Amino acid sequence: MKLSHTLLTWAYWGVVATSMTVSAAPNNASEERHATKAPITVTIDAFQFQPDKIRIKRGQSVIFINKDEVPHTVTPGKNAHFVPSGIIKGGEQHEVLFESAGVQDYSCDFHPSMRGRVIVK
Amino acid sequence: MENMNNESDNSRRAALKAGIAISALAALSLTTLNSANANTGSDTKHDMAILNAALDLENQAIWAYGVAAGKLSDSKVGNVIKALALRNQADHIKHRDIFISTIKSLGGTPANAKGAYDLSAYIKAGEGNLDSDANIAKLALALEVDAVLAYASAVSKLRTPALVAAGLTILPDESAHAAAIRAVFSTLDSTIHAVPAAQLSKETRSQWILSA
């Protein structure tokens, strides 16, 4: 009797666990899909893009946060395809959308030695 | 053990490179510095990026003064501004050479100068132009003021104390350039002061700039 009760209990928790897994699955997938399109953050600090190389998916955007006191820009290189940020003043941020796949190199107009790369898959 | 030795060798190499670089700056700045101030390889890489950004500013200034000098008139005012522009440019050339040798000493590659720089943001903001002697001088002033702000920001983020000390010997020279340009305007208009504020900061920038 005790054994059958134990088995029933295990069976009950088994069903609960399975149903939790099933009901949780779509949420996770949805979160994952959302996460892949969520913007990535690149910090501009001490005259450096950090990180200076990132990989994103097509249609994903990057938020550039300028932590320096001076203005910077995110300007596409020769073969890059995205809309230039224009001036990002110190303490401000700007979101850049990457719609074309490929290697997108960029630099700062005011400080050309500041360079970064976005690899869009 | 081998890793520890490698780490120690790397850190010694980084310290040596930083020491040589500091000496390059110190030789010209007459600041007493030594390799004990050198930091780790990661700090060196971080500082090198800042030094390259400072080099960018010098290259831009050298180019801008070259363009300005070519556009100034042969009038008395034009010649006064041209003489000042060429003196300021000569300082920027010296600064550029200091940064190039410092970056090389740290094992880095100095940033190349661009063929031309975009000054349209200043012209759009009414902070100078290339259409008259006065406006050219105002444009040069705006560039010098922003160079001071950029230097102050850059120097404050250097991680090697000796590089900070050496960098601080160049910063006052940049603000002196701004004051010298304003002094020329002051001879033409007594309400314009060579040093218009007690500080040169983001907050007081508008007091230093002369609108075109």
Q: Do B52 and A113 touch (CB under 8 A)?
A: yes
CB contact under 8 A, A109 and B118: yes
**Closest residue by Cα to residue A114 from A64, A79, A55, A63:** A64
pTM: 0.76
Helix (H, G, I), strand (E, B) or coil at A63: strand
Name residues 2-31 of chain A within 8 A of B (Cβ). none
User: What pLDDT band is residue B40 in, cutting at 50, 70 and 90?
Assistant: confident
Contact status, residue B167 vs residue B158, Cβ threshold 8 Å: yes
Exposure of B165 in the CB half-sphere (CA atoms within 13 A): 18
Sequence spans of domains, chain A: 1-38, 39-120
Segment B142-173, tens digit of pLDDT = 999 999 999 999 999 999 998 998 889 999 99
- Compute the nearest-CA separation of B204 from chain A (Å): 14
Using a CB-CB cut-off of 8 Å, the residues of chain A touching B64 are: none
Chain B residues whose CB is inside 8 A of the A68 CB are 153, 157
Lowest mean pLDDT among A45-54, B10-19, B127-136, B159-168: B10-19
Residue pLDDT, tens place only, B53-96 = 999 999 999 999 999 999 999 999 999 999 999 999 999 999 99
Helix (H, G, I), strand (E, B) or coil at B158: coil
Report ipTM for this prediction. 0.72
- Domain extent, residue B177, equals 2-208
Asked which of B26-30, B44-48, B71-75, B197-201 is least confident by mean pLDDT, the reply is: B26-30
Which residues lie across from A61 on neighbouring strands? Answer: A97
User: Which one of A47, A90, A110 has the shortest CB-CB distance to B49?
Assistant: A47
CA distance to A30, B46, B143, B180, B188, per residue, from A45 (Å): 33, 10, 21, 31, 41
Overall number of domains in chain B: 1
CATH class (in words) of the domain with range A39-120? mainly beta
Task: Identify the CATH number of the domain in which residue B54 sits.
Answer: 1.20.1260.10
